[in-house]
């Protein structure tokens, strides 16, 4: 059901379709800044205590609980003279604003603001005044998008899964636009070292797209799954069967999109990768630390470029018989394959060095020499890169066993980190039981101990035991489309 329109008070429409701000801004209450904002998936406001974790908030349907600097960042997304904006898109979130009581503490929720995605990828805030009038205001797109990326992405439930596991299915529209939009400015900043680019922005139309997904055999929203984004060199986009055994063993969702092959503008292929990520992350419970890219031939090149340019988003890549690099690559006879993008800035390089690139080629692949030399350059530059080169393999997909070996190596750092999280969370829960017994917390101090368990090892067995002791129930089951 569509949410009721909730729009701001105190804005006057001026000539040219813009609005002028009075003291009461869109994220203010009665002319004063709010002291707290609880961001939810619907108009309903669950009971949220002062101390929660990302896991307990997610179980309540809360995307974020903003105070202090994070709340100031939200208010800063409203420009001085914002345009009205097109609010016909889907709802991104509902922001419940709290006014200040005596002593500076947050009182009851005083105002709600709905934020919708605009058709152009931007964001529009809506609020309703006391007279029931609906008005809207366009937010600073990049600033609000950056804020949204810090919130919980999953919008589904934690009960029964209605989508078939172990089968490639077509996802119902509408799809979710990626949180990065490939404009010329983004291309310049991320891929061209800040220099001007002659590439135009994305032209893809999500209303005409067709996305596919395959849930692993043991998918359960109570345990976040990994995500493998398939970049097909052909127009098909359906995840191939060679991924199935690796995806089931590693609990990975595989997604792809049709009509995004080598004949498509590369900017659209970049954009579709982020659209797939955004759509899957809202419908399925995805661990954002475990998002991987894979592709064959030109798709492998796109996978390696996206990992190099957005290492904070993607945790690794498995390029198959094709990859690209930020340095030119010698071909062994005095010439070079050109660099595909500019070397990432210092902070991005620091993150990239924590990622893994497991590439696959064969002795009969015409890209073998380039991939061998690329991996050598990557390793010399401090990147964690490895190449699997198989006899009698040409420019083709690997066997399921070969792909599984490369993907397992890329995924291994997460597996080890997850084991440590589970162990630490179990120990923290054991400390709680030793101090307070296997009973619900009776004080704020004991409650904090259980919350800490869900922070140390979210979604682990110990965390779920802590949730049961806390009495925090999961929100209603959502139906993936």
Of 51-60, 405-414, 420-429, the one with minimum mean pLDDT is: 51-60
Question: Token pair for residue 108?
Answer: 């009851």
Q: Are 40 and 96 in contact (CB under 8 A)?
A: yes
| Residue 292: φ, ψ to 5° | -120, 160
Is the per-residue pLDDT at 5 higher than 70?
A: no
d(CA 32, CA 20): 17
**Tokens 């974790």 found at:** 53
Residue 419: Cβ within 10 Å count: 10
Residue 106: what pLDDT?
A: 53
Mean pLDDT, range 12-33, rounded to an integer? 57
Percent of the chain whose predicted confidence (pLDDT) is above 70: 91
Residue 96: what pLDDT?
A: 93
Of 292-296, 372-376, 444-448, the one with minimum mean pLDDT is: 444-448
* Residues whose CB falls within 8 Å of the CB of residue 78, separated by 6 or more in sequence, listed in order: 21, 25, 26, 27, 125, 137, 139, 140
Of 142-146, 187-191, 224-228, 269-273, the one with minimum mean pLDDT is: 142-146
Which of residues 110 and 401 earns the better pLDDT score?
A: 401
pLDDT bucket at 109, cuts 50 / 70 / 90: low
Question: Token pair for residue 362?
Answer: 């064969």
Mean pLDDT, range 315-334, rounded to an integer? 97
pLDDT bucket at 22, cuts 50 / 70 / 90: very low
Percentages of the chain per state (helix, strand, coil), in multiples of 5: 30, 25, 45
pLDDT (tens digit, 9 = 90+) per residue, 422-436? 999 999 999 999 999
Mean pLDDT, range 296-315, rounded to an integer? 98
pLDDT (tens digit, 9 = 90+) per residue, 61-83? 999 999 999 999 999 999 988 78
Mean pLDDT, range 380-388, rounded to an integer? 98
d(CA 244, CA 198): 39
Mean pLDDT, range 45-52, rounded to an integer? 82
Mean pLDDT, range 304-314, rounded to an integer? 97
Is the per-residue pLDDT at 235 higher than 90?
A: yes
Is the per-residue pLDDT at 2 higher than 50?
A: no
3-class secondary structure, 333: coil
pLDDT (tens digit, 9 = 90+) per residue, 83-105? 888 888 888 899 999 987 545 45
Which of 427, 436, 413 is CA-nearest to residue 460?
Answer: 427
Give the end-to-end CA distance of the chain in Å, rounded to a whole number: 15
Mean pLDDT, range 169-176, rounded to an integer? 93
| Mean pLDDT of the chain, nearest integer | 89
Question: What is 120-137 written as a DSSP string?
Answer: TS-EEEEEE-TT--EEEE
Question: Token pair for residue 15?
Answer: 């000539």
Its pTM stands at 0.88
d(CA 204, CA 280): 18
d(CA 300, CA 260): 13
Mean pLDDT, range 202-206, rounded to an integer? 95
Mean pLDDT, range 376-397, rounded to an integer? 98
* Residues whose CB falls within 8 Å of the CB of residue 102, separated by 6 or more in sequence, listed in order: none
What is the per-residue burial (b if ≥16 Cβ within 10 Å, else e) of 196-208?
ebebebbebebee
Query: DSSP letter at 61?
Result: T
Whole-angstrom CA distances from 144 to 107, 125, 140, 406 are 25, 11, 6, 37
Q: How, if at all, do strands 336-337 and 106-117 pair?
A: unpaired
Residue 101: what pLDDT?
A: 59
What is the per-residue burial (b if ≥16 Cβ within 10 Å, else e) of 35-63?
bbbbbbbeeebbebeeebbbbbbbbbbbb
Which of residues 148 and 413 earns the better pLDDT score?
A: 413
pLDDT bucket at 21, cuts 50 / 70 / 90: very low
d(CA 71, CA 69): 5
Is the per-residue pLDDT at 257 higher than 60?
A: yes
d(CA 235, CA 223): 33
**9 burial level (CB within 10 Å; 0-12, 13-18, 19+):** buried
pLDDT (tens digit, 9 = 90+) per residue, 361-374? 999 999 999 999 99
**Tokens 């996978």 found at:** 303
pLDDT bucket at 10, cuts 50 / 70 / 90: very low
pLDDT bucket at 9, cuts 50 / 70 / 90: very low
Which of 94, 121, 117 is CA-nearest to residue 7?
Answer: 94
**Tokens 């202090």 found at:** 68
The class (CATH top level) of 168-416 is alpha beta
Query: DSSP letter at 306?
Result: H
Residue 105: what pLDDT?
A: 53
Residue 13: what pLDDT?
A: 35
Residue 99: what pLDDT?
A: 85
Q: Are 252 and 225 in contact (CB under 8 A)?
A: yes
Q: Are 256 and 212 in contact (CB under 8 A)?
A: yes
d(CA 106, CA 85): 31
Most confident range (mean pLDDT) of 33-42, 141-150, 418-427 is 418-427
Which of residues 49 and 170 earns the better pLDDT score?
A: 170
Residue 33: what pLDDT?
A: 87
Residue 131: what pLDDT?
A: 67
Q: Are 457 and 425 in contact (CB under 8 A)?
A: yes
**71 burial level (CB within 10 Å; 0-12, 13-18, 19+):** buried
Helices (H) and strands (E) in the chain, counts: 12, 20
Domain-wise residue ranges, the chain: 11-148, 168-416, 423-470
- Show the DSSP H helices in 312-396 as ranges: 346-352, 368-380
């Amino acid at each position: 059901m569509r949410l009721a329109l909730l729009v701001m008070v105190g804005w006057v429409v001026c000539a040219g379709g813009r609005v002028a701000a009075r003291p009461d801004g869109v994220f203010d209450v009665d002319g004063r800044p709010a002291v707290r904002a609880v961001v939810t998936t619907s108009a309903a406001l669950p009971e949220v205590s002062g101390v929660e974790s990302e896991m307990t908030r997610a179980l309540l349907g809360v995307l974020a609980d903003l105070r202090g600097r994070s709340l100031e960042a939200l208010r800063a997304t409203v420009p001085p003279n914002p345009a009205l904006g097109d609010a016909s898109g889907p709802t991104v979130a509902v922001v419940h604003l709290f006014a200040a009581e005596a002593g500076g503490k947050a009182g009851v929720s005083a105002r709600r603001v709905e934020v919708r995605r605009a058709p152009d990828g931007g964001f529009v805030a809506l609020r309703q005044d006391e007279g029931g009038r609906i008005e809207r205001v366009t937010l600073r797109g990049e600033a609000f998008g950056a804020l949204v990326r810090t919130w919980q992405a999953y919008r589904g439930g934690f009960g029964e899964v209605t989508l078939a596991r172990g089968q490639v299915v077509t996802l119902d529209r509408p799809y979710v636009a990626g949180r990065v939009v490939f404009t010329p400015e983004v291309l310049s900043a991320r891929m061209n070292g800040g220099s001007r680019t002659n590439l135009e922005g994305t032209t893809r139309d999500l209303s005409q797209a067709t996305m596919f997904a395959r849930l692993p055999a043991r998918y359960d929203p109570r345990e976040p799954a990994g995500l493998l984004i398939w970049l097909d060199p052909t127009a098909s986009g359906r995840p191939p069967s060679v991924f199935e055994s690796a995806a089931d063993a590693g609990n990975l969702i595989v997604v792809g999109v049709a009509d995004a092959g080598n004949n498509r503008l590369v900017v659209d292929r970049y954009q579709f990768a982020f659209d797939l990520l955004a759509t899957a992350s809202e419908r399925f419970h995805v661990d954002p630390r475990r998002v991987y890219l894979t592709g064959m031939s030109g798709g492998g090149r796109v996978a390696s470029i996206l990992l190099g340019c957005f290492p904070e988003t993607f945790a690794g890549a498995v390029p198959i018989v094709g990859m690209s690099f930020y340095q030119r690559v010698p071909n062994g006879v005095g010439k070079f394959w050109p660099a595909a993008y500019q070397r990432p800035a210092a902070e991005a390089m620091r993150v990239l060095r924590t990622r893994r690139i497991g590439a696959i080629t064969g002795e009969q692949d015409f890209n073998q020499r380039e991939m061998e030399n690329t991996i050598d350059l990557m390793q010399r530059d401090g990147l964690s890169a490895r190449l699997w080169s198989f006899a009698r393999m040409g420019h083709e997909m690997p066997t399921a066993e070969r792909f599984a070996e490369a993907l397992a190596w890329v995924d291994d750092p997460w597996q080890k980190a997850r084991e440590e999280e589970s162990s630490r969370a179990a120990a923290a829960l054991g400390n709680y039981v030793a101090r307070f017994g296997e009973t619900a917390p009776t004080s704020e101090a004991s409650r904090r101990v259980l919350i800490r368990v869900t922070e140390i090892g979210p979604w682990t067995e110990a965390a779920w035991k802590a949730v049961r002791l806390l009495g925090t129930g999961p929100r209603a089951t959502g139906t993936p489309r």
